[in-house]
Amino acid sequence: MAEQQTKMLADEAAIRVNNVSKLYKLYDRNRDRIRDALGLTRKKLYHEHYALHHLDFEVKKGETVGIIGTNGAGKSTILKIITGVLSPTEGSVEINGRISALLELGAGFNMEYTGIENIYLNGTMSGFTREEIDARVPAILEFADIGEFVNQPVKTYSSGMFVRLAFAVAINIDPEILIVDEALSVGDVFFQTKCYHKFDEFKEQGRTILFVSHDMSSISQYCDRVILLDHGRMYAEGTPKEMISLYKRLMVGQAGQDARERAAGSAGSQGSSELWKSHYEINPEADVYGDGRADIIDFAVEDENGMLTSTIEKGTRFTVRSKVRFNTVIRDPIFTCSFKDLKGVTITGTNSMIERFDIGQASPGEVYVASFEQVMSLQGGSYLLSISCTGYEGDDFVVYNRLYDIISISVISDKNTVGFYDMDSEVTVRKEE
C-alpha cells in the first residue's frame, strides 16, 4: 500500500496528489470480514467500492482551493488522505509545508481530556515544545472564546463549542497549509464570520488553504480555484464561477447536456415527460396538505439560463414554477410562492392575486402552470421554498393543495449586506471642498 510522502517539492506546489485511489471492501456479514481477514477462504466475500479513482491535482503555495461535489463524491476521503488520517490504496501525496487540519468533529481530540489538555496534546503532536504551546495558549483561548469550559472534558461540549476550540487550535500552530472540512458549518454565524476573516488574513500572508464546503457563497468568495469531484473521480477544475455552474448542472443530472438539450428539457418546455421535481431533493419534513380539489403535480426552479437548479446566484433572474391539475370546478384559484429562512421565518413571497393576475374558472382535468420570475435579492445562504394553490369561496379562505418547505434553495453571493435582502444600493462618497 502506498504511503503518504512528505518532502520538498521541486516547484511551488504546496500539495501534490498523484494518481490516488481508495478502495473499501464492503461485507454483507461480519463473519465474512473475519473469514477474509484470517485467510480462511479463497472465495471473494466482499464488494469493492472505490471512494476515489485515480485523482491527480496540485495546490500551489498561497492558493485557496475549494473541493465541491455531491454527497459521496469523495471530498472528505481525499482530505483525510492528504492529512495522513487515511492511507491511499494506490498513489501518493506530497506535502510541502507545515499542515494543520480541521476535519470532522472529534478528529485529533481525546474526548476524556479537558479542552486545555487537548490544546497541549495537539501542540505536542504538531512538534511544539511545552514552552511554545504555552506562548500560543492565550491566542487560542481568545479565539475560541469558550470561557471556563476549557477546563471541562470536551465530551461535555456542544458541537459549536467543540468546533470553536478545534479551529482555534488549528490556526494557532502556525500552519503553512490549512485544511478544513465541513466542520465550520456547525458553528454559529458570528463564529463562521470570524473564521472567514482568518481565511482572509491567511490569504494575505500567502498561506495555502484547502477546504470542502457545501456553502457555494463561501466557495465563490474565498477560492482562487475549485475542484469538482463526482463519484470519486476528478470531474473538472477551474474558476469558482465555472465550477459552481457545472456543479449545479451535475446535481440535477444535466452536466453532460449542451445548452440546446438543457433548454429542451427545462421546466419552460412542455415537451419533456420527465417530472421537474425529480431533479430535486424533497424535504421529508415538508408540510403537505389540502382538500384535494386541486393537486400540485410538479414544480421547478430555473436559473437565468433556464436550467433546473436549487442554487441561484444573487443578482440574477430566476423562475419558480408550479404545475397544478384541477379535480373540480374552481373559480379564481390563487397560485402562491414564498421563501422562509431555516428558522421558519417567512422572508418574502407573493401570489397571483397580489400580482393582479386573474385566472378565471378552472375546470376538472385542466392543468395550469404558474411561473414567478424575479431577481434574486436574498442574501447568500439557504432558504425553504413553499408553493400552493388556494382560493376564496365567499369569505372563506380555502387551501386546495399546499407544499410548505418542500425544497431547499441555496443562494450564492460574494457580497452579503445587512439583513435579509440586498437593497442594491449605488454608493457615492465625496469630500466637501
303-329: average pLDDT:
94
pLDDT single digits (tens) 193-237: 788 888 888 888 889 999 888 878 788 888 999 999 999 999 999
Q: What integer pLDDT is reported at residue 48 of this predicted model?
A: 80
pLDDT in tens, 129-146: 899 899 999 999 998 888
pLDDT at 268: 54
pLDDT reported for residue 375? 96
> Among 289, 269, 277, 302, which Cα is nearest to 403's?
289
Contact (Cβ atoms closer than 8 angstroms) between residue 407 and residue 342:
no
From 250, 381, 212, 254, select the one nearest 312 (Cα to Cα).
381
What's the CA gap between 161 and 421, in Å, rounded? 29
Is residue 6 scored above 50 in pLDDT?
no
Q: What are the structural domains of the chain?
A: 1-97+216-251 (3.40.50.300), 259-267+275-412 (2.70.50.60)
Q: Which residues contact 363 (CB under 8 A, 6 or more apart)?
A: 326, 329
Q: Print the SS3 string covering the chain.
A: CCCCEECCCCCCEEEEEEEEEEEEEEECCHHHHHHHHCCCCCCCCEEEEEEEEEEEEEEECCCEEEEEECCCCCHHHHHHHHCCCCCCCEEEEEECCCEEEECCCCCCCCCCCEHHHHHHHHHHHCCCCHHHHHHHHHHHHHHHCCHHHHHCEHHHCCHHHHHHHHHHHHHCCCCCEEEECHHHHHCCHHHHHHHHHHHHHHHHCCCEEEEECCCHHHHHHHCCEEEEEECCEEEEEECHHHHHHHHHHHHCCCCCCCHHHHHHCCCCCCCCCCCHHHHCCCCCCCEEECCCCEEEEEEEEECCCCCECCEEECCCEEEEEEEEEECCCEECCEEEEEEECCCCCEEEEEECCCCCCCCCEECCCCEEEEEEEEECCECCEEEEEEEEEEEEECCEEEEEEEEEEEEEEEEECCCCCCCCECCCCCCCCCCCC
Q: How confident is the model over 294-302, as a mean pLDDT? A: 97
331 vs 342, residue with greater confidence: 331
pLDDT (tens digit, 9 = 90+) per residue, 96-119?
988 888 776 556 788 889 999 989
Which tops the pLDDT comparison, 175 or 46? 175
Its pTM stands at: 0.69
Does the pLDDT of residue 8 top 50, yes or no?
A: no
| Residue 11 burial (C-beta neighbours within 10 Å; 0-12, 13-18, 19+) | exposed
Ramachandran quadrant class, 311 (left: phi over 0; alpha: psi -120 to 50; beta: rest)? beta
pLDDT at 187: 61
Structural contact between residues 121 and 149, judged by C-beta atoms closer than 8 angstroms: no
Q: What is the pLDDT of residues 40-87, one digit of tens each?
A: 777 776 678 889 999 999 999 999 999 999 888 999 899 999 988 899
At residue 317, the pLDDT reads: 96
Q: List, for residues 386-425, the tens digit of each pLDDT value.
A: 999 999 999 899 999 999 999 999 998 878 888 888 888 8
Residue 264 pLDDT grade (very low, low, confident, very high; cuts 50, 70, 90): very low
All residues at 6 or more sequence positions from 393 whose CB lies less than 8 Å from its CB, including other chains: none
| Cβ within 8 Å of residue 190, ≥6 positions away | none
Residue partners of 47: CB distance under 8 A and separation at least 6: 25, 26, 27, 28
Non-local CB neighbours of 125 within 8 Å, separated by 6+ positions: 108
pLDDT at 315: 93
| pLDDT number for residue 236 | 93
- Report for 6-15, 39-48, 316-325: range of highest mean pLDDT: 316-325
Mean pLDDT of 156-170: 86
